């Protein structure tokens, strides 16, 4: 897989959509780049843009955007609530997949060098791209902001890393670097006081505040949260003060912990948190973790759907207070999602049945087996969730929550395999349609057919494994789950066993055309073993179910 990096430039314009559109047009004009999000802020007079792609394409797109912003934005006329020093104020690169931070930092340095030399713009490196750690912190670099940089840039210790040591009155200067994924997050307060908002920010941010000790010496009192930068400001657009937070390592301090801590510190000062907002994008895991966190506080099962976890997170964090929260526009994985990977499972039940019944050979038995397996796992998960919430079983909610999470995991895996099986079939059809006029074409076609056939064997085998594994949850729910739902678990067992047998039929028929007989022998042996175990386990589960029915 090719390396992917993300770029999140911040442009000092948040009101003129014509200017913003001209800048983002430069980004979208580069092949291999995908624009994910454009987030303008009127009060900050700043727009955060997010795009991803291959490193070379991202570098080209970033260069064009920096050039265009310098042409369109006049910093001598700029004002806004957010600290800034240039038309392109900051341009971080973030490793997303198959690339290291060190490699990303090298690309940031390449971009900075090109911007400095070709655009004659002062450029400062920061974070991982900056070799001198005494000037790697963005807030230290930007101290003094635009107005103070006319003098600051003349100081030897603040000579730009690239470009002239002359401050450009129109374009300002820019900061380019490489960093980990950063979540820009604002928490809303029921006050208009910037001073009190700042006091709360100082309470929580890692840098804390300066105080005097008993000897009258000035010392730093750290805040309560690690990897957190924060400041307070008043947003005229909303008529409230906010805590503006950068979560620089969400593995250390995730969104939900920052939110709760601000709630606690605000309450101690007689202030209420009313909600929050995300600036730019957030990883899916952050919202899923938040949803689980708030459900656990309620002693509720966390084994619910991804959609439900996101809903709980949004409501608990108040992410929809200032405007609608659209997961498809704010979650990075959803922005990157290929719609072709979920064409079948995104259909309604009736449309899915109609598509299956049509003259098209796909979806066929493999996809249906995966879907039947997903239904079996879903039934087991339902019983676990009902048991977790059953009156009188409050002391067992966590036990059933863990079972529900496991069932949800198998359900999600099998739902993905519904489309994957049809995709595998389509790949075989494409391979058979390749040209075969020359020796080279025949060899390439044969290889493509064999590769596609192996994939078409492996997918239903994964369906077998996931469906059989889900029977552990199904059996547990027949034994210990809510007795009123024992038949639901029983039907889940029927689905899981059917999915295993059906998927194995696809493994076997696709194996006929594969030439690696050693591979075929091994996977058929393992398939027969799973099939036999599933049949035996189904009988055990149905015996328990019938015993509890009693008639």
Distance CA 496, CA 536 (A): 12
419 is catalytic: no
- Report the C-alpha gap between 542 and 427 in whole angstroms: 39
Q: How far is CA 373 from CA 31, 186, 475, in A?
A: 40, 42, 15
Q: How far apart are CA 182 and CA 185, in angstroms?
A: 9
Residue among 39, 289, 419, 421 flagged as catalytic: 421
Q: DSSP labels for 254-304? A: -HHHHHHHHHHHHHHTT--EEEEEEES-B-HHHHHHHHHHHHHHTT----S
78 noted as active-site residue? no
Per DSSP, the three-state class of 353 is: helix
Q: What letter does residue 172 receive in the DSSP assignment?
A: B
Q: Using the 8-state DSSP alphabet, how is residue 158 labeled?
A: G
Q: How far apart are CA 20 and CA 38, in angstroms?
A: 9
Contact 399, 302 (CB under 8 A): no
Quick one: which of 225, 195, 183, 187 has its CA closest to 208? 225
Token pair belonging to 329: 């526009």
Residue 499 · residue 372 · CB < 8 Å: yes
Catalytic pick from 39, 82, 419, 488? 82
Round to whole Å and give the CA distance between 469 and 104: 40
Phi and psi at residue 236, to the nearest 5°: -60, -35
**C-alpha dist (Å) from residue 313 to 137, 168, 256, 296, 331:** 31, 44, 8, 12, 13
In DSSP terms, 226 is beta-bridged to none
Residue-wise DSSP of 199-244:
HHHHHHSTT-EEEE-TTS-EEEE--S-TTEEEEEEEETTTTEEEEE
CA dist 384 and 398 (Å) reads 10
- Other CB atoms within a 10 A radius of the CB of residue 159 amount to 13
Integer angstrom CA distances of residue 387 from 354, 374, 491: 35, 20, 17
Q: What residues act catalytically?
A: 82, 421
């Amino acid at each position: 897989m090719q390396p992917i990096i993300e770029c999140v430039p911040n442009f000092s314009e948040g009101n003129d959509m014509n200017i913003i559109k001209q800048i983002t047009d430069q980004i979208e004009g580069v092949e291999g780049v995908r624009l994910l999000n454009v987030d303008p802020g009127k009060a900050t007079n700043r727009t955060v843009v997010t795009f991803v792609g291959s490193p070379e394409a991202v570098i080209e797109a970033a260069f064009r955007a920096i050039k265009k912003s310098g042409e369109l934005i006049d910093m001598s006329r700029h004002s806004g609530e957010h600290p800034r020093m240039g038309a392109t104020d900051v341009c971080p690169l973030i490793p997303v997949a198959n690339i290291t931070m060190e490699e990303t930092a090298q690309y940031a340095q390449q971009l900075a060098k090109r911007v400095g030399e070709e655009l004659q713009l002062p450029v400062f490196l920061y974070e991982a791209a900056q070799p001198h750690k005494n000037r790697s912190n963005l807030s230290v670099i930007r101290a003094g902001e635009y107005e103070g940089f006319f003098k600051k840039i003349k100081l030897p210790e603040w000579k730009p890393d690239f470009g002239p040591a002359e401050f450009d009155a129109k374009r300002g200067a820019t900061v380019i670097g490489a960093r980990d994924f950063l979540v820009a997050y604002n928490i809303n307060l029921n006050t208009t006081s910037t001073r009190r908002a700042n006091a709360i920010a100082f309470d929580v941010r890692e840098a804390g505040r300066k105080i005097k000790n008993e000897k009258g010496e000035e010392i730093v009192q750290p805040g309560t949260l690690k990897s957190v930068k924060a400041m307070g400001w008043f947003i005229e657009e909303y008529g409230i003060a906010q805590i503006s937070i950068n979560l620089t390592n969400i593995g250390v301090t995730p969104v939900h912990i920052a939110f709760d801590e601000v709630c606690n510190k605000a309450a101690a000062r007689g202030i209420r948190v009313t909600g929050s907002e995300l600036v730019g994008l957030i990883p899916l895991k952050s919202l899923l973790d938040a949803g689980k966190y708030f459900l656990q506080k309620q002693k509720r099962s966390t084994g619910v759907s991804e959609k439900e976890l996101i809903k709980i997170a949004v409501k608990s964090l108040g992410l929809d207070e200032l405007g609608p929260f659209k997961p498809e526009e704010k979650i990075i994985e959803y922005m990157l999602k290929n719609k072709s990977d979920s064409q079948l499972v995104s259909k309604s039940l009736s449309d899915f049945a109609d598509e299956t019944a049509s003259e098209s050979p796909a979806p066929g038995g493999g996809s249906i087996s995966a879907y039947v397996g997903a239904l079996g796992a879903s039934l087991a998960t339902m019983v676990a969730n009902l048991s977790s919430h059953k009156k009188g079983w409050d002391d067992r909610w966590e036990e059933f929550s863990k079972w529900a999470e496991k069932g949800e995991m198998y359900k999600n895996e099998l739902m993905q395999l519904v489309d994957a099986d049809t995709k595998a079939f389509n790949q075989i059809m494409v391979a058979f349609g390749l040209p075969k006029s020359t020796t080279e074409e025949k060899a390439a076609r044969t290889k493509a057919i064999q590769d596609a056939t192996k994939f078409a064997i492996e997918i239903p085998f994964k369906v077998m494994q996931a469906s059989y594994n889900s029977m552990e949850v199904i059996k547990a729910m027949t034994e210990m789950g809510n007795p009123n739902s024992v038949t639901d678990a029983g039907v889940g067992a029927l689905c899981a066993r059917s999915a295993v047998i059906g998927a194995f039929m696809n493994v076997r028929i696709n194996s006929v055309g594969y030439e690696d007989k050693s591979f075929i022998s091994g996977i058929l042996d393992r398939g027969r073993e799973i099939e036999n175990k599933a049949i035996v386990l189904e009988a055990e589960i149905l015996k328990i179910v019938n015993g509890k029915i009693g008639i």
